[in-house]
């Protein structure tokens, strides 16, 4: 299991195994989530919403309007 040590200035080096797994590069934002039970989750924001474009394909001939997609109608 990879581990890190926090330095005096509060900096932590992310192990290479973890950086590679989440495709983190210099400048990658990390989101820290502190759960009520004391667990900490760190999420790497390596993708954008634009990266999701085109991953879902509608069946041929099926069209859905923006209004039909509105969950608050």
Q: What is the pLDDT of residues 27-54, one digit of tens each?
A: 999 999 999 999 999 999 888 888 888 8
Give dist(CA 51, CA 59) in Å, integer.
Answer: 21
Q: Please report whether residue 60 resides in a domain.
A: no
Q: Please report whether residue 40 resides in a domain.
A: yes
> Is the pLDDT reported for residue 3 higher than 90?
yes
Q: What is the CATH number of the domain that holds 25?
A: 2.10.260.10
Percentage of residues of the chain with pLDDT beyond 70: 100
Q: How many domains does one find in the chain?
A: 1
Average pLDDT, the chain: 90
Give dist(CA 5, CA 37) in Å, integer.
Answer: 22
Read off the pLDDT band of 62 (50, 70, 90). confident
């Amino acid at each position: 299991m990879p581990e890190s040590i926090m330095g005096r200035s509060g900096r932590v080096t992310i192990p290479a195994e973890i950086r590679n797994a989440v495709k983190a590069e210099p400048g990658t934002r990390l989101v820290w989530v502190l759960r009520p039970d004391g667990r900490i989750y760190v999420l790497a924001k390596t993708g954008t919403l634009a990266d999701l474009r085109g991953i879902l394909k509608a069946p041929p001939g099926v069209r859905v309007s923006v209004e039909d997609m509105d969950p608050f109608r």
